Structure 1
Amino acid sequence: MKNNSTTAAPKPDLPAAEQRNTQQATIYRILLAVSFVHLFNDSIQAVIPAIFPILKDNLLLSFAQIGWISFALNVTSSVIQPVIGYAADRKPRPILLPLGMCCTFAGVFLLAYANNYILVLFSVVLVGFGSAAFHPEGMRVAHMAAGLRKGLSQSIFQVGGNAGQSLGPMLTKWIFIPFGQIGALGFTIVAAAGIAVQTYVARWYREMLDSGYTFRKKAAAKLMDPARRKSIRNATIILVFLVFVRSWYGASIGSYYAFYLMDKYRMSLDSAQVYIFMYLAAGAVGTFFGGPLADRFGRRNLILFSMVGTVPFALALPFVSHFWAAVLLLIGGFVLLSSFSVTVIYAQMLYPGNIGTVSGLITGLAFGLGGIGSLVIGNLIDVIGITKVFVACGFLPLLGLLALLLPGDNKLEEWAAE
C-alpha cells in the first residue's frame, strides 16, 4: 500500500512532469506526422515548377513570365515566413496548421482551371500563403516532438519537404504530360489529406501548450555582451546569404535545367524531368544524412563542404554528355543539400528559443530570396541564352567559401549553452 500511495503522489504536478518528459522523449508519431505534411505541402509546391512547360505552351509564356510565377510562389511562401514565425514565437497559433493547408487546397484547385496569366499568379499566391503558414509552426512542432534529438528531428522534418520537392519532375512526366493542366486537380486530394493530419497535429500541439510547454528563454537577450551580439548578427547575415546562394543555384536546376536538356540534347520533356528528379531525390537523401555527418565532422565544416564541394560538379555540368550529366546531378544534389537541415540547426543555436523566427529566416526568407534568383535567371535566359546562363551559374557555389567566416562549432555550443 505504501508503494501505491508514493506512486500516486505526483498527480497534482502532471502538467510539469508531462512537459519535462516531452522535452526528454522523442515523440515519433508527431514527428513523422508533421514530416508527412511537409511532404504533402512541398509536393504541392512542386506542382508549380512541374507545370511550367504546360503553362508555357498553353498560355504562350516567355521565360521571364515563368520567372515571375516562380518569384510569386517563393515570395508569398517564404519571404513572409519570418513575420509569421516571429508572431508564433510570442503567441503560438496551432490553428494555422490546418488553415494553411486549406489555403493550399484552394490554390491548387484554382490552378487546375486557370486560363490566363493573372489567374495562374493568383492561384500560386494562395499556395504560397498556405506554405508560409505551415513552415514556422511545423518547425516548432518538430522541435517540440524532438526531445533531446534535435538533429534527428530536423533531418526527419526537412527530408519530408525535400522528398516532396523531388516529386515535381515526375509529376510532369506522370500527370501533366498525359493529362495537362487539369491534372493539378488531383492534388486537392493530397491537400485534403494534409488538412486531416494537420488537424490531428494541431490538437496535440494545443494540448502541449495547455500543459505548460514553453520554448523561450527568459531575458537572455538583454544580458548579452555587445561583442557577442555583433558576432551573432554577422553570422546570421552570412548564413542567410549562403542559403540564398544555395537556393539560387537550386532554382537554376529545378526550374530551367529541363529546358536546357531539351535544347542541348534534344530530349523529350518527360525524359528531361527524370534528370531533375534524380537531382532533387539525391538532395533529399543528402538532407537526411547531413545531420549525422555534421555531428561527426562539425556543422560549419559541413556547410562549407556542401557548397565548395559542389563547385566541380556544377562547373562541369554544361559540358558533359547526358550520361555524365545524370551522374553529376546525383552527386551534386547530394552534396549541395546535405547542409539543408544543418543550416537550420546552426541558426537555432544562434537564437535558442526562437524556433519560428529561425524557421522563417532560414527556410523561408533565404529560400524566398532564391525566387529572386529564379526571376533573374529567367530574364537572363531570354537575353543571352540558356547555355551561357548555366555556365555562369556553375560559379555560384564558390561563394560558399564565406562559410569560413562563420563561428566554429565550439563557439556556437558555448553560446547556445549560456
Structure 2
Amino acid sequence: MDLSKKLRAIAAMPAFPVLLALAASHCLNDLLQSVITAVYPMLKADMGLDFAQIGLITLIYQLSASIFQPVVGYVFDKHPFSLSLPAGMCCTAVGIVLFACSNTMPGILVAVFTVGLGSATLHPEASRITSLAGHSRRGLAQSVFQVGGNFGGSIGPLLVAIIVAPYGRIYVLWFLVAVILCFWAMSPICKWYKNYLQTRSQQVGATGHKLHMPLSKTATIMTIGVIIILIFSKYIYMASLQSYYTFYLIDRFGISISASQICLFVFVVSTAVGTLAGGPIGDRYGRKLVIWV
C-alpha cells in the first residue's frame, strides 16, 4: 500500500482528528522548546556569557527535559490523568516568561529547567495517546505526531529571527500566543482521552483483569535498553548541533543572528523528511529494520 492509500486509511479512522490535534500540540510545544537554543546568541551577548555557561544552560535544560520523562511516564502509568498535556504546557508557559524576563544566570537556569519540565510531561503522555489513537496504524500515527514536533522545532528559529532578533529577548513573550493555541489544540485530545480512560476502567472492572505486557519483563528491559542507547547517541549530536551551530556560522562566516536562525531552520526541518518516511516504511517492512537503519 502506497503512502497516499495509508493516509486515506488513517484519515478514515474515528480518532484521526485527535491525531491531528496531537500533531498540532507537538508542533507548538517543540516550537516553544526550540526558542531556547535559538536565542542563545542574543543571550550570550546580552549577559556576557561564555561557552561554558551556555553549555551549563543546555545541560540543565536537557536534564530536565529527559530525566523527568520516565518519572512522568511511571506516575501516569499508575495514575492516568486526562489533563496531563495542559499541565505540561503550563510549566512551559511559566518557563518562557521567566526566560524572556530573567537577567541573571540563576533565573535563566530556573527558566530552562521549567521549560524542560513541560517538555518532559508532554512527550511521553502525547506519545502514549498517539499510540492509542493510532490503533493498527501506530507507525504512521507516530510519524504524523513526530512530524508535527519536527516542523515546530524548525520554524521556532525562523520566528526568532523575525520576531526576537531585531528587537530583543523580551519579545520572546510573543510566543505565549503559541501557548494559547496549544491549549486550544489540546481540548479535543483531553476529551477523547478522558472517554478512553473511562471506557477502559469499565472494561477492566467488568472482566476483573488488568492489561498484560506484550513481552516478558526481561525482554522489555533489554528492548528499552537498546532504544535508550540509540536515542542517547542520536541526541548527543543533535543537541550539540542545535546549541552551537548558530555560533559557528556567525564566527566562521560572519553572518547575522537572523541569518544563522534561518540556517538552523534548514537543519531542523530536514529531520521531518526522515520522520515522515520512517512511519509508513516501518508499518510495511518492520519497525526494527527502520530503527537499525
TM-score by length of 2: 0.87
For 2:282 and 2:85, the matched residues in 1 are separated by 30
Alpha-carbon contact 2:88-2:119 (below 8 Å) kept: yes
Alpha-carbon contact 1:254-1:276 (below 8 Å) kept: yes
- Decide whether aligned partners of structure 1 residues 208 and 301 sit closer, same or farther in structure 2, where only a CA change above 3 A counts: closer
Alignment deviations for residues 71-90 of structure 1 (CA, whole Å, 9 cap, x no partner): 12111122111111112122
Alpha-carbon contact 2:100-2:171 (below 8 Å) kept: yes
Shift of 1:176: 2.1
Letter in 1 for 2:187: T
2:103 is matched with which residue: 115, 132, 144? 115
Letter in 2 for 1:138: A
2:270: which partner in 1? 282
1:302 is matched with which residue: 265, 290, 293? 290
For 2:77 and 2:13, the matched residues in 1 are separated by 22
- Decide whether aligned partners of structure 1 residues 171 and 220 sit closer, same or farther in structure 2, where only a CA change above 3 A counts: closer
1:66 is matched with which residue: 54, 57, 60? 54
Alpha-carbon contact 2:137-2:283 (below 8 Å) kept: no
Alignment deviations for residues 160-195 of structure 1 (CA, whole Å, 9 cap, x no partner): 111111123213321221121011101111112212
Alignment deviations for residues 2-46 of structure 1 (CA, whole Å, 9 cap, x no partner): xxxxxxxxxxxxxxxxxxxxxx94511111101101111110000
1:191: which partner in 2? 179
1:12: which partner in 2? none
Which of the pair has more CA radius of gyration?
1
1:139: which partner in 2? 127
For 2:214 and 2:251, the matched residues in 1 are separated by 55
- Decide whether aligned partners of structure 1 residues 146 and 26 sit closer, same or farther in structure 2, where only a CA change above 3 A counts: farther
1:149: which partner in 2? 137
Alpha-carbon contact 1:37-1:194 (below 8 Å) kept: yes
- Decide whether aligned partners of structure 1 residues 88 and 112 sit closer, same or farther in structure 2, where only a CA change above 3 A counts: same
1:41: which partner in 2? 29
State whether structure 2 residue 92 is matched by structure 1 residue 86.
no
State whether structure 2 residue 166 is matched by structure 1 residue 178.
yes
1:217: which partner in 2? 211
1:28: which partner in 2? 16
2:6: which partner in 1? none
Shift of 1:211: 2.1
Give unmatched runs, 5+ long, in structure 2.
1-11, 205-209
Alpha-carbon contact 2:140-2:283 (below 8 Å) kept: no
Letter in 1 for 2:245: Y
Secondary structure, in 3 states, of the residue corresponding to 2:98?
helix
TM-score by length of 1: 0.62
- Decide whether aligned partners of structure 1 residues 160 and 296 sit closer, same or farther in structure 2, where only a CA change above 3 A counts: same
Alignment deviations for residues 203-224 of structure 1 (CA, whole Å, 9 cap, x no partner): 2211221122679733766xx4
Letter in 1 for 2:100: A
State whether structure 2 residue 223 is matched by structure 1 residue 241.
no
Letter in 1 for 2:157: P
Alpha-carbon contact 2:15-2:133 (below 8 Å) kept: yes
Shift of 1:303: 2.7
Letter in 2 for 1:160: G
1:316: which partner in 2? none
2:252: which partner in 1? 264
- Decide whether aligned partners of structure 1 residues 116 and 29 sit closer, same or farther in structure 2, where only a CA change above 3 A counts: same
Identity of aligned residues (%): 37
For 1:243 and 1:86, the matched residues in 2 are separated by 19
Letter in 2 for 1:217: L
For 1:73 and 1:100, the matched residues in 2 are separated by 15
1:406: which partner in 2? none
1:250 is matched with which residue: 214, 230, 238? 238
1:324: which partner in 2? none
Secondary structure, in 3 states, of the residue corresponding to 2:26?
helix
1:291 is matched with which residue: 265, 279, 282? 279
Shift of 1:272: 2.2
> In the TM superposition, what are the counterparts of 1:11-26 in structure 2 within 5 Å?
25-26=13-14
Letter in 2 for 1:36: A
For 2:270 and 2:213, the matched residues in 1 are separated by 42
Alpha-carbon contact 2:158-2:265 (below 8 Å) kept: yes
Alignment deviations for residues 308-362 of structure 1 (CA, whole Å, 9 cap, x no partner): xxxxxxxxxxxxxxxxxxxxxxxxxxxxxxxxxxxxxxxxxxxxxxxxxxxxxxx
Secondary structure, in 3 states, of the residue corresponding to 2:165?
helix
Count of residue pairs brought into register by the alignment: 276
Shift of 1:285: 1.8
Shift of 1:94: 1.2
Alpha-carbon contact 1:40-1:191 (below 8 Å) kept: yes
